Structure 1
Amino acid sequence: MSLTGADCQTCGACCAYSSDWPRFTMESDDALTKIPLHLIAEDLSGMSCEGQRCLALDGQIGVATSCTIYDVRPHVCRECQPNDEECLTARWAYGLGRVSV
């Protein structure tokens, strides 16, 4: 059964779990130029975070969230899928259960 983006838009835990997750790994130089500079970490290794939370994340975890740069988000962000290991690790850290299917 497929999941919709609505599940992620009420969660956001993966974007606030660890400042180590939003790291650039496979992005081309062209892709990186599309991300606003103020959202990139000073060492250029990935997304800038406040504590563990990515600065591109808008909203309240577990209630309603969105990525302010969704169309140009890094590869690591695109790879996290509902109910995969990374998703569940982040959701459990915030006291959230599995994504409903």
Structure 2
Amino acid sequence: MSPCQACGACCAYDSSWPRFSLEAEEDLALIPAHLVALDKSGMRSVDNRCTALAGEIGKHVGCTIYGLRPDVCRACQPGDEECNTARAKYGFAPI
């Protein structure tokens, strides 16, 4: 199992992340509207958690729109600075 599927911290770190940036309008249109922030700046978040994330943080999680996820989500990699910053918020050891 990927370390991401046993974590999910990056998807529940801050309501301002993930933001849309380099995505084409056609790609953004594929994301279900109920998962997009009202101002269309990024993914909708509830209590700092992306609404596309399913499961329990630190146990078993998955992105319900993995194939359609925004560029910033694709860029976050296990063990990079963003990953470990999010993991620290939850008290998880860096990877």
TM class, shorter-length: over 0.9
For residue 58 of structure 1, give the secondary structure of its aligned residue in structure 2: strand
Q: Does 1:82 align with 2:83?
A: no
Structure 1: stretches of 5+ with no match in the other structure: none
Cα separation, 2, equivalents of 1:36 and 1:12: 20
Which residue identity lines up with residue 30 of structure 1 in the other structure?
Answer: E
Q: Does 1:98 align with 2:80?
A: no
Q: Does 1:12 align with 2:8?
A: yes
For residue 77 of structure 1, give the secondary structure of its aligned residue in structure 2: helix
Cα separation, 1, equivalents of 2:91 and 2:77: 18
- The number of equivalent residue pairs is 95
How far has the Cα of 1:98 moved from its partner?
2.0
Structure 2: stretches of 5+ with no match in the other structure: none
* TM-score, normalisation: structure 2: 0.97
Cα separation, 2, equivalents of 1:70 and 1:88: 21
1:32 paired residue number: 28
For residue 2 of structure 2, give the secondary structure of its aligned residue in structure 1: helix
For residue 25 of structure 1, give the secondary structure of its aligned residue in structure 2: coil
Q: Does 1:61 align with 2:57?
A: yes
RMSD: 0.9
